[in-house]
Chain A
Amino acid sequence: MTPLYAFVPSARNRRVWVPVLAGAAAVPLVVRSEYVLNVAVLAGIYIILASSLNVTNGYTGLFSFGHAAFYGIGAYTAALLATRLAAPFWLTFPAAGLAAAAVGSAIAVPTLRLRGIFLALVTIGFQEITFLVTMNWMSLTRGPLGIPRIPPPALPGISFRSNVAYYYLILVLDIAVLFALTRIMTSRIGRTLIAIREDELAAQSCAVPVFRYKVLAFGLATFFAGLAGAFFAHHARFVSADSFRLDETFVILTMLIVGGMGSLVGPVIGAVALVIIPEAFRFFAEYRGVVYGLILIGVILFRPHGIAGVPGIIQPRGAARAPAPPHKPEPALDVASTPESAR
């Protein structure tokens, strides 16, 4: 039996994923509660977010802590296009992804010379800058007031009055995104990204344009985050900067780590589990952050590769808990992948 992290839906393992998909499609037939469906839609959004963060943090081993910023850029792009220009959903949706990817790639070019902890910090800085600019750019984003009255998606023949329609829309989007990610990650691109994670120098010596692939990974991750943002905007029908803070990045990151990085099913499991668990303890709603924090700490301490992740991404292999000598300091500047032009 293949390990869970190697799980890629195919004809051979259709006995696993066909029932799961059928079950997911049947949920609205059984469940009539708007509340439960709302939770399910939320889980669907987080599946896209965690899966897209997986492209950088999991497959490529580049730790980004700014995912919520790109989610927000997507949401604001869709919200502004829909309210100011009355653009339809089929236009705002891809536009949001492209806007997030454009910003993501633009950020990636100067920052990807950094690695490890320094990359994490620069993305945290970018996350905060995005939040503060969103709060203060009154003429564009209306600052803390947010953007209300975003129209629901207008698709022919479907009315978005209840969460049933939203549920099926996000289900279709999830399948599309996961299908796309599966195809990308099992292709030459995906194998190259994994090679960069495993040994950058070796990849470079095999004539892999490492820097270009890293930017590509960032572009892909932020593109899908932007798509999730567009769906969020049209579903919540209101966006404000508070939804896209650093805390939101931590939520997405926790889902990815709990589910497991570097695998296709990991983020899906993590997103669904971490949306449902706090809802089950709704009486302790204010303890949500505490629960997330405890889960994150527990997973890092006892199972750093999460439920279905590839071992050794956040923690070097063989360096489990033995009192081995302390690791060598990490070079801040990544000379290996500096673009030719910057040298």
Chain B
Amino acid sequence: MLVPQLINGLTQGSLYALVAVGFVIIFGTLNLVTFAHGEVYMVAAFVGYFALAVYHLPWPLALLAGMVAGAVLGMATEKLAFRPMRSAGHMPPLLITIGLSVILKDLAVIVWGAENRAVPSIYQQTIQVAGVHVSVLQLVILALACALVGVLRLLLHRTRMGRAMRATAQDHEAAYAMGVNINRVFSVAFALASALGGAAGVLVGIYYNTVYATMGSTAGLKGFAACIFGGLTSIPGAILGGLIIGVVENLTVQFMASGYRDVVAFLVMVAVLIVRPQGLLGKTLRSI
């Protein structure tokens, strides 16, 4: 029973990791925290649901649609909450994104209803690897998560924009003085982060066959817990944090009451913040 739970945990954890990496990109470049990330994820999940269940598009297109919707929403968030508040410290943008997340969540409940929507399932077959049954869907999700992180890495390390982003992450002012258009950098950072969050939303909808209007808050907070694990600025740390939280959650279900599953992420987050606020891999500051 342990191995399947481990695989469940890794799959779930890879989705948390995608959300967490989004937080890291934003915190890494802007040094600020957004609270609307979970709602971006929720809206993208709904876009994926409509693409799959209503328009019967193939799933890669649904995934792409969700990512584009996420990116657009993310860039809008940056324009509304972060650009006018560039020099206002941490709190005002955080509070604006809190307002935004409340608005988006309530609008979603009003427009799409509070009930769960069924997402059609894909890849229902299982294959046997070394005597263990693994669902193909889980493998697809794990592969996609890896691919997305790989693409992100390429974007950050092999393109001009990626270099500008890393420079801005190191020092806004110096990058600005060197002619980097930091407004565009911030916009792209939000687009990338929100596209990853959107991908996570669509994949979660496919994985659990369901989307609902309030799915964003918990996912956002858990992604956040995962990213704190990595010290807010380390992408590998955030991925590791997401995977650990996913696995530990599933083991909690296995060995304890399932109701306490969600407590794990927050206990981890609080413990890490108190004991080691720079995170487990926080030494690799700025190396996004």
Q: What residues of chain A have their CB less than 8 Å away from a CB belonging to chain B?
A: 63, 110-111, 113-114, 116-118, 120-122, 124-126, 128-129, 132-133, 135-136, 143, 246-247, 250, 253-254, 257, 286-290, 292-297, 300-301, 304, 314-316, 319-327, 329-330, 332-333
Check B277 against A329 for contact (C-beta < 8 Å): no
Q: What residues of chain B have their CB less than 8 Å away from a CB belonging to chain A?
A: 31, 33, 80-81, 84-92, 94-96, 98-103, 105-107, 109-110, 172-173, 217, 221, 224-225, 228, 257, 259-260, 262-263, 266-267, 269-270, 273-274, 277-278
Check A293 against B106 for contact (C-beta < 8 Å): yes
Check A132 against B110 for contact (C-beta < 8 Å): no
Q: Which residues of A contact B263 (CB under 8 A)?
A: 129, 132-133, 136
Give the CA-CA distance A82 to B128 in the complex, in Å.
57
Give the CA-CA distance A314 to B94 in the complex, in Å.
10
Check A315 against B92 for contact (C-beta < 8 Å): yes
Minimum distance in angstroms from A42 CB to a CB of chain B: 19
Give the CA-CA distance A55 to B85 in the complex, in Å.
25
Q: Which residues of A contact B225 (CB under 8 A)?
A: 125
Q: Chain A CB within 10 Å — which of B33, B96, B109 has the most?
A: B96
Check A326 against B102 for contact (C-beta < 8 Å): no
Q: Could you give 21 example pairs across A and B, Cβ below 8 Å?
A: A63-B91, A111-B274, A116-B90, A117-B90, A118-B277, A121-B33, A121-B273, A133-B263, A136-B257, A143-B259, A250-B98, A250-B102, A287-B110, A290-B102, A290-B103, A292-B99, A301-B85, A316-B89, A320-B88, A326-B86, A326-B173
Q: Closest chain A residue to B277 by CB distance? A: A332
Q: Which residues of B contact A129 (CB under 8 A)?
A: 263, 266-267, 270
Secondary structure dominating the interface of B: helix
Check A323 against B86 for contact (C-beta < 8 Å): yes
Q: Which residues of B contact A295 (CB under 8 A)?
A: 99
Q: Which residues of B contact A321 (CB under 8 A)?
A: 84-85, 88
Q: Which residues of A contact B257 (CB under 8 A)?
A: 136
Q: Closest chain A residue to B231 by CB distance? A: A332
A-B complex: 10 closest residue pairs judged by Cβ atoms:
A289-B106, A293-B103, A296-B99, A136-B259, A332-B277, A293-B99, A293-B102, A324-B87, A297-B99, A314-B91
Give the CA-CA distance A128 to B224 in the complex, in Å.
13
Check A125 against B92 for contact (C-beta < 8 Å): no
Known: A132-B259, A321-B84. A296 touches B95 (CB 8 A): yes
Known: A114-B277, A323-B86, A326-B173. A290 touches B92 (CB 8 A): no
Minimum distance in angstroms from B224 CB to a CB of chain A: 7
Q: Closest chain A residue to B93 by CB distance? A: A300
A333 contacts which of B91, B95, B267, B278 (Cβ < 8 Å)?
B278
Give the CA-CA distance A321 to B84 in the complex, in Å.
6
Check B105 against A289 for contact (C-beta < 8 Å): yes
Minimum distance in angstroms from A117 CB to a CB of chain B: 4
B260 contacts which of A114, A132, A247, A290 (Cβ < 8 Å)?
A132
Check B31 against A329 for contact (C-beta < 8 Å): yes
Starting from the known contacts A136-B257, A290-B102, A290-B110, 9 additional A-B residue pairs (CB-CB under 8 Å) come to: A63-B91, A250-B98, A296-B98, A300-B96, A314-B89, A315-B91, A325-B87, A325-B172, A327-B89
Q: Which residues of B contact A114 (CB under 8 A)?
A: 273-274, 277
Check A301 against B96 for contact (C-beta < 8 Å): yes
Check A314 against B95 for contact (C-beta < 8 Å): yes
Q: Which residues of B contact A300 (CB under 8 A)?
A: 85, 92, 95-96, 99
Give the CA-CA distance A69 to B112 in the complex, in Å.
29
Check B274 against A122 for contact (C-beta < 8 Å): yes
Check B217 against A121 for contact (C-beta < 8 Å): no
Q: Which residues of B contact A287 (CB under 8 A)?
A: 106, 110
Check A121 against B88 for contact (C-beta < 8 Å): no
Check A333 against B277 for contact (C-beta < 8 Å): yes
Give the CA-CA distance A143 to B257 in the complex, in Å.
13
Q: Which residues of A contact B221 (CB under 8 A)?
A: 124-125, 128
Q: Which residues of B contact A320 (CB under 8 A)?
A: 88
Q: Closest chain B residue to A318 by CB distance? A: B87
Check B98 against A128 for contact (C-beta < 8 Å): no
Check A125 against B88 for contact (C-beta < 8 Å): no
Give the CA-CA distance A294 to B106 in the complex, in Å.
12
Check A132 against B262 for contact (C-beta < 8 Å): yes
